[in-house]
Amino acid sequence: MKNLISIIIPVYRGNPVYFNKTIESCLNQTYDYVEVIIIDNGCNDALQDTLSELNTKENVTVVKNSKSGVCSGRNLGVKTAKGDYIMFLDADDWIESNACEILLNHAVEAEADCVICNYSRDYSDHSEKMLHYIRDTMYKGWKDYLKDLLNVQAGVGFCWGKLIKASTIENVLLNEELSLAEDAEYCARASQNWNVIVGDEHPLVHYIFNDQSAVRKFD
C-alpha cells in the first residue's frame, strides 16, 4: 500500500491568483496519493466560490475553522488529515510538481521522520534559490537539528518545506497564543519526536516574498 501525503493549507483573506497557483501545484503532483486539506480561516468573498468548487474534488477537503490564526488552522488540519505523512503549505506559496515524490522517496530510503528541503524565495521580478542543503544531509539527532533551527538565516525552522511522519506529531500542537515565530517554536518541540531528520538538496518550495507579512512588519 502506498503512503498517503496530506498537504495542509490554512487560508485567510487569500489572494485568489496566488491561492489558485498554490492549489494547482498540489493537485498536479507526479505522486498520486495526495490529499489536500484547506482550512478556511475566514476567507474573503473572492475565495468562497473557489473553495466551494474545490470541496467537490475527491482528494480535497475544505474545513471551516471556528477559531482564528494560522496555528489553529494547522492544528485543525493535522486533526483532519488521514495521511501517513504531513506537509504544511502557506496559501500564497507553491511546490514543484515532483515535490511529494522526491521527499517521500527520500523519507522511505532514509527511514526518516522528517525530510527538509531547500526552497526558492520568489520576488516580483526575480527568484533566489536558498540552498542550505548543498548535499543531502543527515542530522545526528534533534539537538543537532536545533542548532540549525536557531540560525534563522538557515531557514529550517519553518513548518513548510518539510515532509513529516504523521505519527510523530499527532500529539504535538502549535501554540495558538503565538503570532510570530510559531513555526520555529513548534519545530523545536516536534523535532524531539524525530529520530531521523534529513535535509534534501532540491529547492521544492516557492516562498512568495511579501513585504506586508507579519514578519516584515515586526520591529
Q: What is the pLDDT of residue 142?
A: 93
Domain-by-domain residue ranges, the chain? 5-212
Q: Residue 118 to residues 115, 121, 155, 185, 207: CA-CA distances in angstroms?
A: 10, 10, 9, 20, 11
Q: Per the structure block, which three cell numbers stand in for 86? A: 504531513
Q: What is the pLDDT of residue 124?
A: 86
List the one residue out of 96, 81, 75 whose CA is nearest residue 205: 96
> Tens-of-pLDDT digits for all 219 residues of the chain?
799 999 999 999 888 899 999 999 999 999 999 999 999 998 878 888 899 999 999 999 999 998 889 999 999 999 999 999 999 999 999 999 999 999 999 999 999 999 999 999 999 899 999 999 998 899 999 999 999 999 887 889 999 999 999 999 999 999 999 988 999 999 999 999 999 999 999 999 999 987 554 444 444
What is the residue whose three cell numbers read 537539528? 145
Q: Are 132 and 199 in contact (CB under 8 A)?
A: yes
Q: What is the pLDDT of residue 211?
A: 58
Report the distance separating Cα 213 and Cα 204, nearest Å: 22
Query: What is the largest distance, in Å, between two alpha-carbon atoms of the chain?
Result: 49
What is the residue whose three cell numbers read 466551494? 52
So what's the architecture of 5-212 in CATH? Alpha-Beta Complex (3.90)
Phi/psi for 6 (5° steps) reads -105, 120
Q: Are 85 and 33 in contact (CB under 8 A)?
A: no
Cβ neighbours of residue 1 closer than 8 Å, sequence gap 6 or more: none
Q: Per the structure block, which three cell numbers stand in for 128? A: 533566489
Is 1 exposed, middle or buried (CB count within 10 Å of its CB: 0-12, 13-18, 19+)?
exposed
How many C-beta atoms surround the C-beta of residue 48 within 10 A?
Answer: 11
Q: What is the pLDDT of residue 86?
A: 98
Q: What is the pLDDT of residue 59?
A: 96
Q: What is the pLDDT of residue 43?
A: 81
